[in-house]
Amino acid sequence: MKIFPAIDIKDRKCIRLLKGNFSNQTTYEMSPIEQASKYKDFGLYNLHIIDLDGALTGELINLDIIENIVKKLGLSIEVGGGIRSIDKIETYLNIGVEKVILGSAAIKNPNFLKEASEKFNNKIILGLDANKKKISVSGWKETLNQTAEEYLKKVNSYGFSRLIYTDIERDGTKLGPNIDETKSIAKISKAPVVVSGGISSIQDIKKIKNLKNSNIEGVIVGKAIYDGDIKLDKLKDLENA
């Protein structure tokens, strides 16, 4: 199982939001590249980065920071946040990002998701963020009258290479992941699914890892690392187990 330590960047700093609320954020002392270096030092080579400034503006605000991480550390990085055009996808892939996450733009315009998935084979991730099963977009400020499952059934054949399912109600809370909803999504999805939101302990990750006959590829871990609830050496041991 793949483990993706998370780095959310806002105002050039590492932050974590509570339930996606930009007015309820925690800022951490380590810079994004220092945090990424720490992950690499512990042998964690998959990294999940979100440009929160980009999610709010639709621009690649922290491109230089992300490029610095890619070029200096050589990690396998998936990036999201404000990626709303083919040109922006190309920009990230050209600096060495492994995969690009499409969220709001793909949901509002499914044809964009299809075009990107066809043009950039095995490079596109669909990010589905849900609040009480309903899809949220635009930096989680807008909730649509459409469930994640309903949307997924419409685009399932488009060829994206991974699906990240985030339960916003759990995100940043350390209350544990919403495994049942994620399993439901994974049963439908043709692409492997990554669990996001609420991871609080190594036990949470073990529960996901031990699921039988699931289409769940990995897990994203954020606040529990920053707060010291999950130790990086234990995380690497679990990924290798």
What lies within 8 Å, CB to CB, of 65 at 6+ separation is 9, 12, 32, 33
Tokens found for residue 223: 């606040």
What lies within 8 Å, CB to CB, of 79 at 6+ separation is 49, 50, 51, 66, 92, 97, 99, 100, 101
Chain centroid to Cα 52, Å, comes to: 12
Residue among 53, 129, 167, 171 flagged as catalytic: 129
- Residue 233, φ and ψ in degrees, nearest 5: -65, -35
Q: List 194's β-bridge partners, or say none.
A: 164, 218
Query: At 97, is the secondary structure helix, strand, or coil?
Result: coil
Three-class SS string for 106-159? HHHCHHHHHHHHHHCCCCEEEEEEEECCEEEECCCCEEEEEEHHHHHHHHCCCC
Tokens found for residue 1: 């199982």
Annotation marks residue 129 as catalytic? yes
- Give catalytic residues, as residue numbers: 8, 129
